[in-house]
């Protein structure tokens, strides 16, 4: 059985008090409880404070470009769908630069677990507004306040029929751990939007601000009811629901791909003579 010591990585370089710390701790607790060994999954990250996440773990890692976590994750899954693939990104990284890739990953329903560290600001590049920044929020780049409408990742996910869409909060680690575990166990694309305070550049959405607003979705809620899920996803402001907002059981992309349906690509035979024959056509 794995232990927390198996996941010990480099010393984190995040700011003291950063919401990334509880996410890191909770993720390690979750994978240990699931009995996962470090070699059994790969984490793909982009650029940003969240992009440093796999450096502070011991696991297979690929650092992608800004906003490009999902294309790399897709390639890994198609090459070896026996490998659990986890993508980590920030709100700017995923919903800004990577927004187009998010749309199509959800549409394909490829079995990738996406954890978004959503601090509603670009933390690494010193505090400009991100797609999830609240309207009228003032930054060094938006001195008159954010003029664009705030992106709602959960409403977007439900509208696109995402097979697993959940929200959690870095200040509620027991809840976050359950969301991480449910996401990893889900078959199909999963998005977990993690509300994560940035103690340096976002003075609005603080731990205290969230604690006054977040609430656990009630026990009788049915996450398979898409209409009700959309209503729940639209809640934001005085009350912010956390939990599984939407779930369905669409077949995963890998299950519908005939070439890899029965055997991962990396375990299939390789006939060099066929490649040599094809190359001759270019001589």
DSSP annotation of 249: -
- Beta strands in 101-197, from DSSP E residues, in sequence order: 113-118, 164-169, 190-195
CA torsion angle for 43, 44, 47, 48 (degrees, to 10)?
A: -30
User: Is the model more confident about 210 or about 279?
Assistant: 210
CATH architecture of 4-280: 3-Layer(aba) Sandwich (3.40)
Residue 61's SS3 state is strand
What confidence tier does 124 reach under pLDDT thresholds 50, 70, 90? Answer: confident
What confidence tier does 120 reach under pLDDT thresholds 50, 70, 90? Answer: very high
Nearest to 156 by CA among 215, 98, 199, 106: 106
pLDDT, position 277: 83
CA 213, CA 224: separation in Å to the nearest integer?
24
Q: How far is CA 87 from the centre of its chain?
A: 5
Mean pLDDT of 63-90: 94
pLDDT, position 91: 93
Residue 253's SS3 state is helix
Q: Phi first, then psi: give them for residue 24, nearest 5 degrees.
A: -60, -50
User: Is the model more confident about 122 or about 271?
Assistant: 122
CA 22, CA 167: separation in Å to the nearest integer?
15
Nearest to 17 by CA among 49, 63, 65: 49
CB-count exposure of residue 67 (10 Å: 0-12, 13-18, 19+):
buried
Q: What is the CA radius of gyration of the chain?
A: 20
Residue 89's SS3 state is strand
Contacts of 51 (CB under 8 A, 6+ apart): 45, 63, 88, 89, 90, 93, 124
Domain ranges of the chain: 4-280
pLDDT tens string 154-212: 999 999 999 999 999 999 999 999 999 999 999 999 999 999 999 999 999 999 999 99
Across the chain, what does the average pLDDT equal? Answer: 93
């Amino acid at each position: 059985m794995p232990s927390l010591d198996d996941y010990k990585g480099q010393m984190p370089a995040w700011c003291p008090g950063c919401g990334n710390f509880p996410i890191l701790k909770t993720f390690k607790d979750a994978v240990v409880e699931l009995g996962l060994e470090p070699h059994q999954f790969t984490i793909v990250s982009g650029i940003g404070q969240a992009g440093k996440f796999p450096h502070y773990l011991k696991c297979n890692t690929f650092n992608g470009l800004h906003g490009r976590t999902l294309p790399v994750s897709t390639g890994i899954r198609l090459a070896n769908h026996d490998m659990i693939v986890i993508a980590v990104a920030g709100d700017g990284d995923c919903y800004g630069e990577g927004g187009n890739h998010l749309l199509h990953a959800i549409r394909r329903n490829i079995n990738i677990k996406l954890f978004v560290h959503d601090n509603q600001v670009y933390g690494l590049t010193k505090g400009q507004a991100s797609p999830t920044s609240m309207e009228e929020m003032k930054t060094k780049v938006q001195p008159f306040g954010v003029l664009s409408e705030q992106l709602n990742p959960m409403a977007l996910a439900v509208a696109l029929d995402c097979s697993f869409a959940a929200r959690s909060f870095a200040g509620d680690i027991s809840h976050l751990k359950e969301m991480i575990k449910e996401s990893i166990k889900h078959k199909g694309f999963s998005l977990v939007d993690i509300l994560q305070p940035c103690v340096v550049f976002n003075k609005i959405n603080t731990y205290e601000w969230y604690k006054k607003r977040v609430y656990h979705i009630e026990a009788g809620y049915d996450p398979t009811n898409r209409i009700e899920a959309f209503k729940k996803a639209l809640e934001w402001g005085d009350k912010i629901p956390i939990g599984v907002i939407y779930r369905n059981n669409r077949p995963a992309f890998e299950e519908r791909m005939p070439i890899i349906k029965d055997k991962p690509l990396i375990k299939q035979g390789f006939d060099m003579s066929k490649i040599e024959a094809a190359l001759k056509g270019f001589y």
